[in-house]
């Protein structure tokens, strides 16, 4: 399929295999979790309307972190009653918009957020469901830049700082949930279980004190295979989870992002030039960190394939992008068949936090996106035009 797409569309472009996304959904649903749970797709991983809508068609809700993501989730057809908002520093408009849309739950991460939730809900004569995101002080043992549950991190609130008496007594705000999310790309299932136990313990303690918590939001964070990272051991995860959920009847929410979409996505790019620089062979691509920033930002090594190349001879390349930044590299010293100018490369497993973290730096148009299934495909985002790059600017 990808080869055909390169004949019709100019690179770079993202493409997503719908069957792989479906496979991930089916896999999670096949795990035999024996308690009441719902899946909410973490929109930040891939906020394309077609992708969000695909989850909607599979009865999956949405977790958002901004009014923009909330707007897109609703536009994609998700009922607000199946949307949760998180966010370490929600703006006033984010909160007001979430309140008036009557979403399932607003998870607060700062004590002061509740003042606005209560006063605005009163003004609108609404009862708003909210949750509290806990910082459990757990090191998820993942990439440091995407670890969120350690003491000193900006996410969630330490339990000792939460006055549950006060939160449970509000007139227009209903304490409905507790939530936790200790990081992303987590390979050690024990760390996730540890965080769930912390949340269950807290909910049980609160129950003993007379507070009714209906929902526990266990966040996302499931790892996918990537160089240096293996995929989460779901068999053990599910087994342990079923054990700790025995005798509990909380409603559980999971908010996976990466797991659901990462492996479906490819970034297809072309070799523009090849040059030698000292001992290095540098292949300069038609994509850059504007289109895919994770290698430069997190120092990860994306999986790469050459689309069509029969050369048996391999040599080492540095794969560089086209923006004017020294750090704009996808991979260094990667062994590949001898490349030629015009040849296509595919970065694999980039369906999560790929397009969603792209920018127009160097005034590069954001790329085309395609969703395909078997031999059918459709464009789900057109490439920015040059005119788009001037949108909202006033001379």
Which residues bind to ligand LLP, rule: CB under 6 A? Answer: 42, 45, 63, 86, 146, 181, 184-185, 219-222, 255-259, 294, 298, 352-353, 357
Min dist. Cβ of residue 66 to ligand LLP (A): 12
Residue 40 or 344 with smaller CB distance to ligand LLP = 40
Min dist. Cβ of residue 4 to ligand LLP (A): 29
In this structure, what are the phi and psi dihedrals at residue 21, rounded to the nearest 5 degrees?
-60, -45
In this structure, what are the phi and psi dihedrals at residue 178, rounded to the nearest 5 degrees?
-120, 145
Min dist. Cβ of residue 217 to ligand LLP (A): 8
Neighbour-count burial for 74-86, b at 16+ CB within 10 Å, e otherwise: bebebebebbbbb
Residue 296: CB atoms within 10 A of its CB come to: 18
Residues linked to residue 132 through DSSP beta bridges, in sequence order:
108, 178
* 162 preceded by a cis bond (ω within 30 of 0): no
Residue 217 or 269 with smaller CB distance to ligand LLP = 217
Residue 136 or 256 with smaller CB distance to ligand LLP = 256
Euclidean distance between CA atoms 14 and 141, whole angstroms:
30
Min dist. Cβ of residue 142 to ligand LLP (A): 9
CA-to-CA separations, 132 to 148, 283, 367, in angstroms, rounded: 15, 48, 37
Min dist. Cβ of residue 173 to ligand LLP (A): 20
Q: Which of 311, 312, 310, 301 is nearest to 334 (CA)?
A: 301
In 47-131, alpha helices (H): 49-57, 67-75, 92-100, 113-123
* 337 preceded by a cis bond (ω within 30 of 0): no
For the chain, give me the number of helices (H) and strands (E)?
Answer: 11, 17
Residue 72 or 377 with smaller CB distance to ligand LLP = 72
CA 326, distance to chain mean position in Å, is 27
Q: Is 390 a catalytic residue?
A: no
Residue 6 or 135 with smaller CB distance to ligand LLP = 135
Contact 110, 86 (CB under 8 A): no
Min dist. Cβ of residue 186 to ligand LLP (A): 7
Q: Which of 219, 215, 201 is nearest to 252 (CA)?
A: 215
Residue 6 or 42 with smaller CB distance to ligand LLP = 42
Q: What is the DSSP letter of 229?
A: B
Residue 356: CB atoms within 10 A of its CB come to: 17
Min dist. Cβ of residue 232 to ligand LLP (A): 10
Q: Which of 218, 64, 214, 190 is nearest to 134 (CA)?
A: 218
Residue 88 or 382 with smaller CB distance to ligand LLP = 88
Q: Output the residue with the shortest Cβ distance to ligand LLP.
A: 220
Residues labelled catalytic = 324
């Amino acid at each position: 399929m990808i080869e055909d797409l390169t004949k019709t569309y100019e690179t770079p472009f993202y493409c997503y295999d719908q069957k792989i996304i479906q496979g991930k959904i089916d896999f999670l649903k096949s795990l035999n979790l024996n308690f009441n749970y719902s899946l909410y797709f973490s929109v930040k991983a891939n906020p394309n309307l077609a992708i969000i809508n695909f989850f909607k068609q599979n009865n999956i809700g949405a977790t958002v972190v901004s009014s923009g993501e909330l707007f897109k989730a609703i536009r994609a057809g998700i009922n607000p009653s199946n949307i949760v908002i998180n966010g370490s520093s929600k703006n006033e408009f984010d909160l007001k918009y979430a309140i008036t849309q009557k979403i399932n739950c607003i998870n607060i991460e700062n004590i002061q957020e509740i003042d606005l939730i209560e006063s605005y809900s009163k003004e609108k004569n609404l009862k708003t469901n909210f949750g509290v995101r806990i910082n459990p002080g757990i090191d998820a043992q993942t990439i440091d830049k995407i670890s969120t549950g350690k003491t000193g991190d900006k996410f969630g609130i330490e339990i000792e700082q939460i006055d549950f008496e006060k939160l449970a007594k509000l007139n227009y705000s209903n304490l409905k949930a507790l939530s936790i999310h200790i990081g992303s790309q987590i390979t050690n299932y024990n760390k996730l279980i540890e965080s769930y136990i912390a949340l269950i313990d807290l909910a049980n303690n609160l129950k003993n004190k007379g507070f009714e918590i209906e929902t526990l939001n266990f966040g996302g964070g499931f790892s996918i295979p990537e160089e240096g990272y293996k995929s989460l051991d779901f068999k053990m995860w599910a087994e342990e989870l079923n054990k700790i959920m025995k005798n509990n009847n909380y409603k559980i929410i999971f908010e996976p992002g990466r797991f659901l979409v990462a492996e479906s996505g490819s970034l297809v790019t072309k070799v523009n030039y090849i040059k030698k620089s000292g001992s290095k062979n540098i292949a300069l691509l038609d994509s850059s960190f504007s289109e895919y920033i994770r290698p430069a930002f997190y120092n990860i090594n994306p999986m790469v394939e050459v689309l069509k190349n029969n050369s048996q001879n391999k040599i080492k390349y540095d794969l560089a992008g086209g923006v004017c930044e020294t750090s704009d590299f996808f991979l260094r010293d990667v062994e590949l068949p001898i490349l030629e100018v015009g040849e296509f490369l595919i970065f694999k497993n980039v369906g999560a936090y790929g397009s969603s973290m792209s920018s127009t730096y160097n005034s590069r148009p954001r790329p085309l996106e395609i969703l395909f299934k078997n031999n059918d495909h459709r464009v789900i985002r057109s490439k920015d035009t040059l005119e788009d790059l001037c949108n909202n600017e006033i001379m």
